[in-house]
Structure 1
Amino acid sequence: MLKKILKYFSIITAPIAILALIAYFSVLKLPEKIYINDSMEVSDISVHNQGVFNTVKLSKDKVNIDFLGLIPIKSVAVQKLDDIKLYPGGTSVGIKLSTEGVLVVGFSDVETRGGTESSPAKVAGLQLGDVLLKVNGKDIEGAKELGSLIKENDTNVVNVEFMRQGCKFNKDIELVKEGEAYKLGLWVRDSTAGIGTLTFYHEDSDTFGALGHPITDGDTNTTFTIKDGDLLSASILSVRKGEKGVPGELRGLFINEKSSIGTIKSNSSSGIFGNTNQPLVNPICSEPMSVGFRNEVVEGPATIITTVGEEGPKEYDIEIVKLLQQDKCGPKSMIIRVTDEELLSKTGGIVQGMSGSPIIQNNKIVGAVTHVLINKPDIGYGIYIEWMLEEAGIIN
């Protein structure tokens, strides 16, 4: 009798347990906090992809999700914010960054009188993407400074302080002599520059945000740890149209390298941020726009503001194809498709240099363009604007 009871019990409970696990994993990537504008009520919140078997219950300052309406599996805090106003970007900007220390981007063998020897730095355990900070306790200000510090060393061993994945380490490296000079056997980089697109300007804090994704080194795919940087005015000269398998590109130049329009303070997973030296107001949007948080974004028509020629920023039609679940900052919040025939004829879709172009829906800034799918240049990714506002310090 007991065996029959246990058998029937397992037959009943096993499917429920499986469904409960499915329900749990369906909400695992929901954020810990949802932002809403002060004018909204919690009852207006819609939770995307909460799961078929889950029930959403709204309270004064929380969204509770229960399995079958009975078992609590997720609670999301709701924070009301004053209506944030941003001037949308869409203008092309120049970016110049100097790294903290120097970034290891390659190794080189050393030619000695006895033959070729492997890179001393590589033999000692340094890796591509490591950031060298000090030699024998002295700060490395740049690539030339690194060479000088090695040259003035009076032994064939140096102590190097470096950073790897956010942690600092020290290593003693035995140098190898090439001719009359000791060598580390490294290729390093201390700066980078390029063209991107401004996402927003926040007048109340003189803060800007751009790109929607981090600036990484092309050789190592390492995010630059910046010491300082400048935002510059830029002009687009030509466009290389995107095709299947070949990403397109905006080609431009800095208008005046000696006159920055902003100071870059951070390079994060959600873009670059800093303070402006002057108001960065889009010439086609003279009035600021409200922010649309993730719970306001819906799949369907939207627009982007971007610059693909000398005529300046223009608004183009896109479609938000899919909203993706994210529990932390990241540049892939939504999938978008360019539908504007004019933009498709000019660029083929999304091209390099358009990253940061603001996404507008229902007359609100809801995100920014971040990436293109190489095999489908009309399709790419966008980031929720709230991730960028968190990184910029505009919301907490």
Structure 2
Amino acid sequence: MPVKRHSVARTLGIALFAILLTYTGMVRSIPSSITIFQGENADSQLKKLPGIELENDQEGMSVKWLGLFRLKKVNVSVVPDQYLMACGNVAGVKMEIDGLLVISLSDVEIQGGASVNPAKDAGIRTGDRITGAQGQELHNAQDLLGLVKGSNGTTLSLDVMRLGTKLTLEVKPERAAGDGQYHIGVWIRDSAAGIGTITYYDPETLDFGALGHGISDIDTKELVPLKRGKIFEAAIISIKKGMPGSPGELSGVFMEDWGPVGTVEENMECGIYGSLEPAKRGSLEGRPCPLGSPGAVREGNAVILSDIAGAGVTSYDVQILKIIRDPVSGKKSISLQVSDEDLLAVTGGIIQGMSGSPIIQDGRLVGAVTHVFVNDPQRGYGILIERMQ
């Protein structure tokens, strides 16, 4: 019997030790300091653990166990609310690429039936940007095409950018058997365009952020190197409803005759950024909205703002399913699901063109829609607003 009592005591001791280790780890996961906006509740940023209570004191907040033992002190910094204008307007984006982007290499069939690739032989690779030729700046694809066609097979000196390094490569055009013209064997792109959603703009500076992700080339999958760009009002002409395995999309026309809404100055991983034209400010249906601190975003009800039908920006109900706070989550830091029956009836959920739609929770701008789940269009990802700024 004494052996059994010893065994029970040992088992209880191990269990208590395990519980203590678990609580220690959980308490350590509570930050020592947090920053909140005025009007936010600091409790929302701190984990609620069984037996753990949060209590305000003069130094911030105390984490207590059973209301008696202070386990940790949390310093709370309160900063003034920052307001942005939450938008949701669909816009057309046109961007000029900084240089001519090489999207693929293609052989040239010459007299006699042989196939050659002058660009490959010169060391040109997919993803390179050709910025100049023969000491001249190239502004578009036609500039390079004209030089190659008029070369008569003379070697051309090309200025090439590769991963931030400038190269000078010599390429000798070859005459194609098919059309008798000179070619160097590259497919290039000098611009990009698409439909997306404006997330916000600053009412004081008129700086805007949109999409929640950068614009990547469809072939190279890399961010498009931006030379200059513009955004225009867009008229939606059709909506392809999303289905499992087949993402939906908005199709529209750019209202270029109305003039640009703004200029695009940066194309980055977490969005495109630029400045609105002051005279066009009124064309956006922005509503003043305080920012939500990242720690205050929670699972539960939220809305997104979108203008899918071209009849004005509308609020649609969504559920935030999960918040991913690790630093590598980036554009996929919010997992959400569309619950609004009106939106589901029209789009099936999240579709291409809705990227950038603001996510509002508890009256605060907390993020933007970025991606759709291909096999479940009702679900998608969003980005925390702090990562868009």
The TM-score, its normalising length taken from structure 2, stands at 0.79
1:14-62 alpha-carbon deviations (Å, 9 max, x no partner): x99xx99xx79x98xx99x976436669x65726799xxxxxxxx989x
- The residue aligned with 1:316 is 316
Following the alignment from structure 1 to structure 2, what is the Cα–Cα distance between the partners of residues 209 and 280?
A: 14
- The residue aligned with 2:292 is 292
- The residue aligned with 1:218 is 218
After superposition, the Cα gap between the structure-2 partners of 1:271 and 1:178, relative to the gap in structure 1 and judged at 3 Å, is: same
Q: Shift of the alpha carbon at 1:161?
A: 2.6
8 Å Cα contact 1:92/1:195 also seen in 2: yes
- The residue aligned with 1:4 is none
- Is residue 2:154 matched to residue 1:138? no
Bigger Cα Rg? 2
SS state of the match for residue 263, structure 1? strand
Following the alignment from structure 1 to structure 2, what is the Cα–Cα distance between the partners of residues 101 and 224?
A: 10
Aligned CA RMSD, in angstroms, stands at 3.8
Following the alignment from structure 1 to structure 2, what is the Cα–Cα distance between the partners of residues 371 and 122?
A: 35
After superposition, the Cα gap between the structure-2 partners of 1:239 and 1:40, relative to the gap in structure 1 and judged at 3 Å, is: closer
Structure 1, gaps ≥5 residues long: 1-11, 51-58, 62-76, 390-396
- The residue aligned with 2:92 is 94
Following the alignment from structure 2 to structure 1, what is the Cα–Cα distance between the partners of residues 44 and 163?
A: 38
8 Å Cα contact 1:260/1:277 also seen in 2: yes
Q: Shift of the alpha carbon at 1:284?
A: 6.0
8 Å Cα contact 1:201/1:281 also seen in 2: no
After superposition, the Cα gap between the structure-2 partners of 1:182 and 1:269, relative to the gap in structure 1 and judged at 3 Å, is: same
SS state of the match for residue 387, structure 1? helix
> How many pairs were matched up?
352
- The residue aligned with 1:37 is 37
Residues 95-244 of structure 1: matches in 2 within 5 Å?
95-151=93-149, 153=151, 156-178=154-176, 181-244=181-244
After superposition, the Cα gap between the structure-2 partners of 1:34 and 1:236, relative to the gap in structure 1 and judged at 3 Å, is: farther
Instruction: Output the amino acid matched with 1:113.
Output: Q
1:140-199 alpha-carbon deviations (Å, 9 max, x no partner): 211011123334557633332322334433333343233664321111110111111110
Q: Shift of the alpha carbon at 1:125?
A: 3.2
Following the alignment from structure 1 to structure 2, what is the Cα–Cα distance between the partners of residues 34 and 228?
A: 39
SS state of the match for residue 188, structure 1? strand
8 Å Cα contact 1:240/1:250 also seen in 2: yes
Following the alignment from structure 1 to structure 2, what is the Cα–Cα distance between the partners of residues 378 and 164?
A: 39
8 Å Cα contact 2:330/2:387 also seen in 1: yes
8 Å Cα contact 2:153/2:172 also seen in 1: no
Following the alignment from structure 2 to structure 1, what is the Cα–Cα distance between the partners of residues 237 and 138?
A: 36
Following the alignment from structure 1 to structure 2, what is the Cα–Cα distance between the partners of residues 95 and 49?
A: 44
Instruction: Output the amino acid matched with 2:45.
Output: S
SS state of the match for residue 115, structure 1? coil
Following the alignment from structure 2 to structure 1, what is the Cα–Cα distance between the partners of residues 182 and 47?
A: 60
Q: Shift of the alpha carbon at 1:129?
A: 2.0
- The residue aligned with 1:46 is 45
Q: Shift of the alpha carbon at 1:332?
A: 1.0
Following the alignment from structure 1 to structure 2, what is the Cα–Cα distance between the partners of residues 60 and 102?
A: 58
The TM-score, its normalising length taken from structure 1, stands at 0.78
- The residue aligned with 2:64 is none
- The residue aligned with 1:267 is 267
Q: Shift of the alpha carbon at 1:308?
A: 1.4
- The residue aligned with 1:379 is 379
1:235-263 alpha-carbon deviations (Å, 9 max, x no partner): 11221000000000111111234600100
SS state of the match for residue 146, structure 1? helix
Instruction: Output the amino acid matched with 2:260.
Output: S
8 Å Cα contact 1:329/1:387 also seen in 2: no
- The residue aligned with 1:392 is none
After superposition, the Cα gap between the structure-2 partners of 1:141 and 1:262, relative to the gap in structure 1 and judged at 3 Å, is: same
Identity %: 38
Instruction: Output the amino acid matched with 2:191.
Output: S
1:91-137 alpha-carbon deviations (Å, 9 max, x no partner): 11111110001111122211211323232212333222222112233
